[in-house]
Amino acid sequence: MAVLFGTDPLFLDHDAGTHHPERPERLGAVLKGIELVQDKVEVVRFNPEPASGFQMAKVHGGDYLATLRRFCLMGGGELDPDTQVSIHSWDAAILAAGAGIDAAKRLKKGQADAAFVAVRPPGHHAIADSAMGFCLINNVAVLAAELVSWGERVLIFDFDAHHGNGTQDAFFANSSVLYVSTHQYPLFPGTGRVQEVGIGDGHGTTVNIPLPEGTTGPTMRYALETIAWPAIEAFDPTWLLISAGFDAHYKDPLTEMGLSSGDFFDLTSWAMKLVPKGRTVALLEGGYDLEALRDSTASLLGALSGESFSPEAPGRLRPERDLIDALAQMRSRALD
Protein backbone atom coordinates (compact mmCIF):
# COMPACT_ATOMS: atom_id res chain seq x y z
CA MET A 1 0.00 0.00 0.00
CA ALA A 2 1.18 3.51 -0.75
CA VAL A 3 1.73 6.09 2.00
CA LEU A 4 1.62 9.85 1.52
CA PHE A 5 4.50 11.65 3.21
CA GLY A 6 4.17 15.41 3.59
CA THR A 7 6.91 17.72 4.82
CA ASP A 8 8.61 20.96 3.78
CA PRO A 9 11.97 22.72 4.31
CA LEU A 10 10.03 25.62 5.86
CA PHE A 11 9.53 23.49 8.99
CA LEU A 12 13.29 23.72 9.57
CA ASP A 13 13.03 27.51 9.87
CA HIS A 14 11.00 27.43 13.08
CA ASP A 15 13.60 28.12 15.77
CA ALA A 16 12.40 27.19 19.27
CA GLY A 17 15.55 28.55 20.92
CA THR A 18 19.15 27.54 21.63
CA HIS A 19 19.57 23.98 22.97
CA HIS A 20 15.81 23.42 22.76
CA PRO A 21 14.83 19.73 22.45
CA GLU A 22 12.22 20.54 19.78
CA ARG A 23 14.90 21.26 17.19
CA PRO A 24 15.11 21.16 13.39
CA GLU A 25 17.37 18.07 13.49
CA ARG A 26 14.28 16.08 14.45
CA LEU A 27 13.07 16.31 10.85
CA GLY A 28 16.42 14.98 9.63
CA ALA A 29 15.86 11.94 11.85
CA VAL A 30 12.39 11.48 10.39
CA LEU A 31 13.83 11.58 6.87
CA LYS A 32 16.37 8.91 7.85
CA GLY A 33 13.46 6.79 9.06
CA ILE A 34 11.77 7.21 5.67
CA GLU A 35 15.01 6.07 3.98
CA LEU A 36 14.99 2.92 6.11
CA VAL A 37 11.65 1.80 4.68
CA GLN A 38 11.53 3.21 1.20
CA ASP A 39 12.68 -0.03 -0.43
CA LYS A 40 9.65 -1.79 1.09
CA VAL A 41 7.07 0.98 1.20
CA GLU A 42 5.75 3.07 -1.69
CA VAL A 43 6.22 6.59 -0.32
CA VAL A 44 4.36 9.36 -2.19
CA ARG A 45 5.94 12.67 -1.20
CA PHE A 46 4.18 16.02 -1.24
CA ASN A 47 4.74 19.58 -0.02
CA PRO A 48 1.66 20.62 1.94
CA GLU A 49 -0.45 23.75 1.62
CA PRO A 50 -0.91 26.07 4.63
CA ALA A 51 -4.19 26.16 6.54
CA SER A 52 -6.53 29.09 5.90
CA GLY A 53 -7.49 31.53 8.63
CA PHE A 54 -11.04 30.16 8.44
CA GLN A 55 -9.82 26.60 9.02
CA MET A 56 -7.64 27.56 12.00
CA ALA A 57 -10.40 29.74 13.50
CA LYS A 58 -12.49 26.61 14.08
CA VAL A 59 -10.04 25.82 16.89
CA HIS A 60 -8.34 29.11 17.78
CA GLY A 61 -10.63 32.00 18.63
CA GLY A 62 -10.42 35.67 19.54
CA ASP A 63 -7.35 37.54 18.38
CA TYR A 64 -4.88 34.75 19.24
CA LEU A 65 -3.92 34.00 15.63
CA ALA A 66 -3.45 37.68 14.73
CA THR A 67 -1.40 38.25 17.88
CA LEU A 68 0.78 35.20 17.23
CA ARG A 69 1.37 36.26 13.63
CA ARG A 70 2.35 39.76 14.65
CA PHE A 71 4.63 38.50 17.44
CA CYS A 72 6.48 36.19 15.03
CA LEU A 73 6.79 38.74 12.24
CA MET A 74 8.23 41.28 14.67
CA GLY A 75 11.09 38.87 15.32
CA GLY A 76 9.61 36.46 17.86
CA GLY A 77 10.78 35.64 21.34
CA GLU A 78 9.45 33.80 24.36
CA LEU A 79 5.72 33.02 24.57
CA ASP A 80 6.23 31.00 27.76
CA PRO A 81 9.34 29.45 29.35
CA ASP A 82 9.01 26.35 27.10
CA THR A 83 7.76 27.96 23.93
CA GLN A 84 9.75 30.37 21.80
CA VAL A 85 9.21 31.55 18.25
CA SER A 86 11.33 33.08 15.53
CA ILE A 87 10.46 35.30 12.58
CA HIS A 88 9.69 32.26 10.39
CA SER A 89 7.60 30.42 12.99
CA TRP A 90 4.26 31.79 11.77
CA ASP A 91 4.79 30.48 8.24
CA ALA A 92 5.92 27.11 9.61
CA ALA A 93 2.96 26.96 12.00
CA ILE A 94 0.25 27.61 9.38
CA LEU A 95 1.91 25.07 7.10
CA ALA A 96 1.92 22.53 9.96
CA ALA A 97 -1.76 23.32 10.57
CA GLY A 98 -2.61 22.81 6.89
CA ALA A 99 -0.51 19.70 6.25
CA GLY A 100 -3.05 17.29 7.69
CA ILE A 101 -5.93 18.84 5.75
CA ASP A 102 -3.92 18.63 2.53
CA ALA A 103 -3.14 14.97 3.28
CA ALA A 104 -6.80 14.18 3.99
CA LYS A 105 -7.89 15.77 0.70
CA ARG A 106 -5.30 13.68 -1.15
CA LEU A 107 -6.50 10.51 0.59
CA LYS A 108 -10.06 11.31 -0.46
CA LYS A 109 -8.83 11.52 -4.05
CA GLY A 110 -7.31 8.05 -3.67
CA GLN A 111 -3.65 9.12 -3.95
CA ALA A 112 -2.59 6.64 -1.22
CA ASP A 113 -3.90 4.38 1.55
CA ALA A 114 -2.67 6.39 4.57
CA ALA A 115 -0.62 9.53 5.28
CA PHE A 116 2.07 10.87 7.58
CA VAL A 117 2.91 14.54 7.86
CA ALA A 118 6.21 15.42 9.53
CA VAL A 119 5.61 18.93 10.79
CA ARG A 120 7.15 21.46 13.17
CA PRO A 121 6.07 23.04 15.44
CA PRO A 122 3.98 20.27 17.03
CA GLY A 123 0.41 21.03 18.08
CA HIS A 124 -1.39 19.00 20.74
CA HIS A 125 -0.74 21.32 23.71
CA ALA A 126 -1.90 24.49 21.93
CA ILE A 127 -5.23 25.68 23.35
CA ALA A 128 -7.88 27.96 21.84
CA ASP A 129 -6.29 31.24 22.86
CA SER A 130 -2.69 30.36 23.68
CA ALA A 131 0.49 28.59 22.65
CA MET A 132 1.82 26.02 25.13
CA GLY A 133 4.45 23.31 25.50
CA PHE A 134 6.38 23.86 22.21
CA CYS A 135 3.03 24.09 20.33
CA LEU A 136 1.63 27.14 18.51
CA ILE A 137 -1.41 25.96 16.52
CA ASN A 138 -3.18 22.68 17.30
CA ASN A 139 -2.50 20.90 14.01
CA VAL A 140 -4.47 17.71 14.74
CA ALA A 141 -7.43 19.68 16.12
CA VAL A 142 -7.54 21.91 13.03
CA LEU A 143 -7.63 18.79 10.86
CA ALA A 144 -10.29 17.11 13.02
CA ALA A 145 -12.47 20.24 12.93
CA GLU A 146 -12.16 20.32 9.14
CA LEU A 147 -13.16 16.65 8.86
CA VAL A 148 -16.15 17.25 11.15
CA SER A 149 -17.23 20.03 8.75
CA TRP A 150 -17.17 17.38 5.99
CA GLY A 151 -19.60 15.33 8.11
CA GLU A 152 -17.03 12.81 9.36
CA ARG A 153 -16.71 11.11 12.76
CA VAL A 154 -13.12 11.48 13.85
CA LEU A 155 -11.09 9.29 16.19
CA ILE A 156 -7.91 10.98 17.42
CA PHE A 157 -5.42 8.53 18.91
CA ASP A 158 -2.67 10.46 20.72
CA PHE A 159 0.19 8.17 21.78
CA ASP A 160 2.59 11.01 22.57
CA ALA A 161 3.95 10.55 26.11
CA HIS A 162 2.38 13.85 27.14
CA HIS A 163 -1.35 14.41 27.45
CA GLY A 164 -2.71 16.45 24.53
CA ASN A 165 -4.55 18.95 26.71
CA GLY A 166 -5.22 21.33 23.82
CA THR A 167 -6.81 18.65 21.67
CA GLN A 168 -8.90 17.43 24.60
CA ASP A 169 -10.09 21.00 25.28
CA ALA A 170 -11.04 21.58 21.65
CA PHE A 171 -13.46 18.64 21.60
CA PHE A 172 -14.35 18.09 25.26
CA ALA A 173 -18.02 18.93 24.59
CA ASN A 174 -18.10 17.63 21.00
CA SER A 175 -19.66 14.25 20.17
CA SER A 176 -18.20 14.18 16.62
CA VAL A 177 -14.61 13.70 17.82
CA LEU A 178 -13.45 10.84 20.03
CA TYR A 179 -10.16 11.73 21.71
CA VAL A 180 -8.11 8.79 23.05
CA SER A 181 -4.83 9.58 24.78
CA THR A 182 -2.22 7.29 26.31
CA HIS A 183 0.31 9.25 28.33
CA GLN A 184 2.74 9.17 31.21
CA TYR A 185 1.14 10.43 34.40
CA PRO A 186 1.97 12.54 36.27
CA LEU A 187 3.85 14.57 33.69
CA PHE A 188 3.52 17.89 31.87
CA PRO A 189 0.91 19.36 31.35
CA GLY A 190 -0.73 17.68 34.38
CA THR A 191 -4.09 16.94 32.74
CA GLY A 192 -5.36 13.61 31.38
CA ARG A 193 -6.81 11.88 34.44
CA VAL A 194 -9.00 8.89 33.63
CA GLN A 195 -11.98 10.74 35.15
CA GLU A 196 -11.78 13.40 32.39
CA VAL A 197 -14.38 11.85 30.05
CA GLY A 198 -15.95 14.87 28.32
CA ILE A 199 -18.93 17.06 29.14
CA GLY A 200 -22.38 17.77 27.69
CA ASP A 201 -22.75 16.27 24.20
CA GLY A 202 -19.15 15.09 24.48
CA HIS A 203 -19.70 13.06 27.66
CA GLY A 204 -17.91 9.78 26.99
CA THR A 205 -16.00 10.91 23.87
CA THR A 206 -12.79 11.66 25.74
CA VAL A 207 -10.77 8.63 26.82
CA ASN A 208 -7.73 9.23 29.00
CA ILE A 209 -5.33 6.42 29.83
CA PRO A 210 -2.76 7.77 32.31
CA LEU A 211 0.16 5.37 32.71
CA PRO A 212 3.12 5.10 35.07
CA GLU A 213 6.83 5.43 34.23
CA GLY A 214 8.23 2.43 32.41
CA THR A 215 4.98 1.40 30.75
CA THR A 216 5.65 -0.92 27.80
CA GLY A 217 3.76 -1.63 24.60
CA PRO A 218 1.81 -4.71 25.75
CA THR A 219 0.37 -2.79 28.72
CA MET A 220 -0.60 0.09 26.48
CA ARG A 221 -2.21 -2.29 24.01
CA TYR A 222 -4.14 -4.02 26.79
CA ALA A 223 -5.25 -0.62 28.09
CA LEU A 224 -6.53 0.40 24.67
CA GLU A 225 -8.44 -2.84 24.26
CA THR A 226 -9.90 -2.65 27.77
CA ILE A 227 -10.55 1.07 28.31
CA ALA A 228 -10.75 2.64 24.85
CA TRP A 229 -12.33 -0.13 22.78
CA PRO A 230 -15.90 0.16 24.18
CA ALA A 231 -15.92 3.89 23.44
CA ILE A 232 -14.44 3.38 19.97
CA GLU A 233 -16.93 0.66 19.08
CA ALA A 234 -19.87 2.82 20.19
CA PHE A 235 -18.46 5.85 18.35
CA ASP A 236 -17.87 4.03 15.03
CA PRO A 237 -15.24 6.42 13.57
CA THR A 238 -14.93 7.19 9.85
CA TRP A 239 -11.42 8.72 10.11
CA LEU A 240 -8.39 8.08 12.31
CA LEU A 241 -5.94 10.86 13.15
CA ILE A 242 -2.82 9.83 15.03
CA SER A 243 -1.02 12.38 17.19
CA ALA A 244 2.25 10.59 16.55
CA GLY A 245 4.62 11.73 19.25
CA PHE A 246 7.47 9.30 19.76
CA ASP A 247 8.58 10.53 23.19
CA ALA A 248 7.11 7.42 24.85
CA HIS A 249 10.15 5.59 23.40
CA TYR A 250 12.45 4.27 26.13
CA LYS A 251 15.38 6.35 24.80
CA ASP A 252 13.54 9.65 25.02
CA PRO A 253 15.30 12.20 27.26
CA LEU A 254 12.12 14.07 28.31
CA THR A 255 10.00 11.18 29.59
CA GLU A 256 10.31 7.83 31.36
CA MET A 257 8.04 5.57 29.30
CA GLY A 258 9.20 2.17 28.05
CA LEU A 259 8.03 1.72 24.46
CA SER A 260 10.20 0.48 21.60
CA SER A 261 9.78 1.47 17.98
CA GLY A 262 8.24 -1.97 17.46
CA ASP A 263 5.50 -1.01 19.88
CA PHE A 264 4.65 2.00 17.73
CA PHE A 265 4.28 -0.39 14.79
CA ASP A 266 1.94 -2.55 16.85
CA LEU A 267 -0.17 0.36 18.19
CA THR A 268 -0.50 2.00 14.78
CA SER A 269 -1.46 -1.29 13.10
CA TRP A 270 -4.09 -1.85 15.81
CA ALA A 271 -5.57 1.62 15.42
CA MET A 272 -5.70 1.54 11.61
CA LYS A 273 -8.09 -1.40 11.71
CA LEU A 274 -10.65 0.82 13.46
CA VAL A 275 -11.43 2.87 10.33
CA PRO A 276 -11.90 2.21 6.59
CA LYS A 277 -8.83 1.94 4.37
CA GLY A 278 -7.51 5.27 3.13
CA ARG A 279 -8.79 7.22 6.12
CA THR A 280 -5.73 7.48 8.42
CA VAL A 281 -3.53 10.57 8.84
CA ALA A 282 -0.64 10.58 11.32
CA LEU A 283 0.86 13.92 12.41
CA LEU A 284 4.24 14.27 14.09
CA GLU A 285 4.04 15.60 17.65
CA GLY A 286 6.96 15.05 20.10
CA GLY A 287 9.96 12.71 20.18
CA TYR A 288 13.35 14.08 21.19
CA ASP A 289 15.88 11.26 20.81
CA LEU A 290 17.00 11.27 17.19
CA GLU A 291 17.67 7.52 16.90
CA ALA A 292 14.33 6.71 18.47
CA LEU A 293 12.65 9.17 16.14
CA ARG A 294 14.29 7.58 13.10
CA ASP A 295 13.35 4.03 14.08
CA SER A 296 9.85 4.96 15.21
CA THR A 297 9.20 6.81 11.95
CA ALA A 298 10.22 3.68 10.03
CA SER A 299 7.88 1.59 12.19
CA LEU A 300 5.03 4.04 11.69
CA LEU A 301 5.50 4.00 7.91
CA GLY A 302 5.62 0.22 7.96
CA ALA A 303 2.32 0.08 9.85
CA LEU A 304 0.66 2.74 7.66
CA SER A 305 1.62 0.82 4.55
CA GLY A 306 0.61 -2.59 5.92
CA GLU A 307 4.19 -3.85 5.53
CA SER A 308 5.68 -5.69 8.47
CA PHE A 309 8.69 -3.50 9.20
CA SER A 310 10.16 -2.48 12.49
CA PRO A 311 13.82 -1.85 13.42
CA GLU A 312 13.20 -3.00 17.02
CA ALA A 313 11.03 -5.80 18.37
CA PRO A 314 7.87 -4.88 20.25
CA GLY A 315 7.97 -5.12 24.06
CA ARG A 316 7.53 -8.60 25.51
CA LEU A 317 6.65 -7.91 29.16
CA ARG A 318 3.30 -9.16 30.38
CA PRO A 319 0.68 -6.38 30.47
CA GLU A 320 -0.01 -4.92 33.89
CA ARG A 321 -3.62 -6.01 33.89
CA ASP A 322 -4.46 -5.10 37.50
CA LEU A 323 -3.48 -1.49 36.99
CA ILE A 324 -5.43 -1.20 33.75
CA ASP A 325 -8.50 -2.98 35.13
CA ALA A 326 -8.52 -0.49 38.02
CA LEU A 327 -8.33 2.41 35.57
CA ALA A 328 -11.21 0.90 33.56
CA GLN A 329 -13.33 0.80 36.71
CA MET A 330 -12.52 4.43 37.49
CA ARG A 331 -13.60 5.42 33.98
CA SER A 332 -16.86 3.46 34.34
CA ARG A 333 -17.63 5.31 37.55
CA ALA A 334 -16.88 8.67 35.88
CA LEU A 335 -19.29 7.79 33.05
CA ASP A 336 -22.21 7.04 35.39
Instruction: Report residue 145 CA to chain centroid gap.
Output: 15
Which residue number, 83 or 305, has a Cβ lying nearer to Zn ion?
Answer: 83
Q: Which of 162, 249, 251, 279 binds Zn ion (CB under 5 A)?
A: 162
Q: Taking CB positions, which residue lies at the least distance from Zn ion?
A: 286
Which residue number, 245 or 319, has a Cβ lying nearer to Zn ion?
Answer: 245
Residue 125: active-site member: yes
Only one of the segments 55-63, 138-146, 268-276, 283-291 lies at the binding site for Zn ion (rule: CB under 5 A); that segment is: 283-291
Question: How far is Cα 23 from Cα 151, in angstroms, rounded to an integer?
Answer: 36
The answer to whether 134 touches 83, Cβ cutoff 8 Å, is: yes
Q: Does 160 bind Zn ion (CB under 5 A)?
A: yes
Question: What is the three-class DSSP state of 245?
Answer: coil
Question: How far is Cα 114 from Cα 329, in angstroms, rounded to an integer?
Answer: 34
Single out the catalytic residue among 125, 162, 163, 183.
125
Only one of the segments 14-22, 92-100, 158-166, 266-274 lies at the binding site for Zn ion (rule: CB under 5 A); that segment is: 158-166
Which residue number, 162 or 279, has a Cβ lying nearer to Zn ion?
Answer: 162
The answer to whether 182 touches 216, Cβ cutoff 8 Å, is: no
Query: Which residues neighbour 160 within 8 Å (Cβ) at sequence distance 6 or greater?
Result: 124, 181, 183, 243, 244, 245, 246, 247, 248, 285, 286, 287
Interface with Zn ion in residues 245-264 (CB under 5 A): 245, 247
Interface with Zn ion in residues 184-243 (CB under 5 A): none
Q: Which of 123, 204, 217, 286 binds Zn ion (CB under 5 A)?
A: 286
Distances (CA, A) of 59 to 43, 52, 72, 146, 318: 30, 12, 20, 10, 40
Query: Cβ of residue 133: shortest distance to Zn ion, in angstroms?
Result: 8
Residues recognised as catalytic = 125
What is the binding site for Zn ion (CB under 5 A)? Answer: 160, 162, 245, 247, 286
